[in-house]
Structure 1
């Protein structure tokens, strides 16, 4: 019996790794070929070795720290850093020919390989049920975090440099490290905290689902580069187009087609989800009415391990099957956005201003319709007037223009990038926007 359990623990880790890798490969990714996958697994193996060496090397330094700090500094930080480093080294070489879907898949596969090797290692150190619990929960987290890291690393590499171009990656890395640290802390401390682990998996899964949709609606980098655009440039232009479509439809009294947020749910997925959601209900009867029988069938399992593995985890899998790929990319790509706040813009140096407008701002810049064709990469000035407050002589650089000769019906425009991030302007704009949307919400409720 003991020999059988020793074999089953690492087998569970391998099966869990295969399940989550195959789950996402079939759902989202057509793939670049077998070599791409093999390289990702190989990089995941290297990342595991780096993280293990790091953890062993610094273990004694944090022995007196709080358990949560240890969970972050001795587990989460080395592991997420190792994965991010290996993903970065690969994607840096492939950034010109890879798209965001490629980076997601590569990161997912690195995470799967990392989690598989780590859990096979832990399977020989932990008892049976704690080992199964760790394999079933840490593997999906490593998978999801690898995909998230892959997305934001390539997004950073394919964005125009400057104006804190790496901020999104840094925030995502911090988010994953703290979430990973919380997972480690709950798992090591045991008790009621163990029951919170599926919530951590759900949060990381929903984050991954949102960025998968972003990857699906973003043009390939090679296409953008043919127009001398980067991913962040494209995001600003696309947002302007969606706001502008609403304005034109509103002015012409056209009906705006509603695009659903969710795709239709297939019968097969619905049946699988219902079955998985039914398992916790079945196990709940055992737990409530014949709890003494549980150790008879499942030797040495604790009550919390039973709740987590046989009640919460099947519900988590049901949620996974129910929600995967349910978000509709067309909603994020084609849905017309109602303009929350017009921004009055004066472009050009004093005495040569051209009045225009903008619908949105980011820390990187904005897109605005213009009549006079700007000279690219030549610094100029812009002034904004927002809700009674002026922001004068902000330095910007036109980096892309949309002009068509001999086409008078075409609405020309240009993409402007801030020379320095105008924090005062951005803060005021967000305060006014929040205030306006609050008023709109109140009016919609009480009118």
Structure 2
């Protein structure tokens, strides 16, 4: 019995290491080719710290609630504590030299830390269940930990590059809350042994596509030290970038030089197509075997349940095929340069004492926006705004001009901030903008 456990543990260790190497290689060559060995080892060391922190916190919680239900274990013990422990580890990893890194760095070393965390956690579960259940847990839980680590790294770097306002904590909490929710859903399905066939691909693919969008957007964000040299936060840079994109669209319309060739997706290479087929073909063969020769499964794998077979040999290879096909397909330049037809803009009346000027905004993030102005205003100038959405006006909103600058063309612009969140205005703006963007998807190019 002891020799079987040793052999089983050795097999599981090899499967976990192979899974970790597979996903590490996928992301290493997918988007992050320039790495430093020292940072790799440091990230792995912090994964040990994160696991230790998680175990200590779980032990403290179990002292208070020694007999938790499945929901409590999934949401608190697994989702919240483990993702919080990763966040703490990633924060300590980046905290001293955060300005030297980018959001892309946060994603990659978050992936490394999450992968080390998942490997160590899976080792602790070697003797808790049967062999096939251990295999299924190893090849699914580890990528969830790894991708969540990448997302937590991205959310943390954006938090570190943000302003010193409470809203950056809100942005971080929303991001971490998303990771906790997916993690808890996955673990709950394992604890209750229900719905794993549907939950498994949902969790991995949702995390994968969210990470793909995050990776694409991270490529157009600047390192912390560049943002400091520009005296901007990451939100202000994003707002200014969107304004410049909209302004460029208007200028190109006037010059009839619109570039309509920036697509959301890039064409996958032949290598990607072959790798996709490499995983999809076994998935198709496995389901055909299940349909036409189920006795082959029961004779070959005596301890393998049909649901585990379906998850391991049908669902999981199909998920990997989808991941390989869509990995790197999203075009980062779409998020920087692409402009949907007919962009939405809002009118702004800026009031300073007896002076008033009318201008426009293209994008607002919570309580910040950028507008063209006629002059340079002193930093932190107190002003009053009237914000318009169509014919609806939200009047006498107090705020300030954080800074104003003159661009290379001699035009002035100002980064503005309202004193509080205007929820009604934001909801109205978001509704109208969403409706307009949906219309844009169906706008057909008119013939010249």
TM-score by length of 1: 0.93
Offset at residue 298 of structure 1 (A): 1.9
Q: Does 1:90 align with 2:74?
A: no
The 5 A counterparts of 1:3-402 are 3-59=6-62, 61-62=64-65, 66-162=69-165, 164-402=167-405
Q: Does 1:429 align with 2:429?
A: yes
Q: Runs of 5+ in structure 2 lacking a partner?
A: none
**C-alpha separation in 2, matches of 1:109 and 1:222:** 24
Contact 2:197 2:310 in 1 (8 A): no
Deviations 1:130-163 (A, max 9, x none): 1100000000000000000000111011011215
* 1:419 aligned residue: 419
Deviations 1:366-410 (A, max 9, x none): 111111111112222222222222222322222232315xx7x43
Question: 1:353 aligns to what SS in structure 2?
Answer: strand
> What's the RMSD between the two structures over aligned residues?
2.1
**C-alpha separation in 1, matches of 2:310 and 2:190:** 14
Question: 1:175 aligns to what SS in structure 2?
Answer: helix
After superposition, the Cα gap between the structure-2 partners of 1:315 and 1:437, relative to the gap in structure 1 and judged at 3 Å, is closer
Question: 1:379 aligns to what SS in structure 2?
Answer: strand
Offset at residue 57 of structure 1 (A): 2.8
Contact 2:342 2:440 in 1 (8 A): no
Q: Runs of 5+ in structure 1 lacking a partner?
A: none
Contact 1:68 1:182 in 2 (8 A): no
Question: 2:30 aligns to what SS in structure 1?
Answer: helix
After superposition, the Cα gap between the structure-2 partners of 1:36 and 1:432, relative to the gap in structure 1 and judged at 3 Å, is same
**C-alpha separation in 2, matches of 1:194 and 1:257:** 41
Offset at residue 48 of structure 1 (A): 0.7
- Answer with 332-341 or 173-182: which moved more: 332-341
Contact 1:243 1:359 in 2 (8 A): yes
Contact 1:246 1:339 in 2 (8 A): no
After superposition, the Cα gap between the structure-2 partners of 1:123 and 1:335, relative to the gap in structure 1 and judged at 3 Å, is same
- Answer with 55-64 or 32-41: which moved more: 55-64
**C-alpha separation in 2, matches of 1:440 and 1:245:** 18
Contact 2:340 2:437 in 1 (8 A): no
**C-alpha separation in 2, matches of 1:117 and 1:69:** 22
Question: 1:300 aligns to what SS in structure 2?
Answer: coil
- Aligned residue pairs total 441
- Answer with 263-272 or 290-299: which moved more: 290-299
**C-alpha separation in 1, matches of 2:296 and 2:364:** 62
Offset at residue 308 of structure 1 (A): 0.3
**C-alpha separation in 1, matches of 2:442 and 2:326:** 31
Question: 1:330 aligns to what SS in structure 2?
Answer: helix
Contact 1:261 1:331 in 2 (8 A): yes
Deviations 1:73-124 (A, max 9, x none): 1211111111011112222222211111111112111100000011112123
Contact 2:110 2:149 in 1 (8 A): yes
Offset at residue 127 of structure 1 (A): 1.6
**C-alpha separation in 1, matches of 2:21 and 2:439:** 50
Deviations 1:151-199 (A, max 9, x none): 0111011011215122221111111111111100111222443442122
Contact 1:259 1:330 in 2 (8 A): yes
**C-alpha separation in 1, matches of 2:39 and 2:434:** 45
**C-alpha separation in 1, matches of 2:429 and 2:56:** 47
After superposition, the Cα gap between the structure-2 partners of 1:275 and 1:439, relative to the gap in structure 1 and judged at 3 Å, is closer
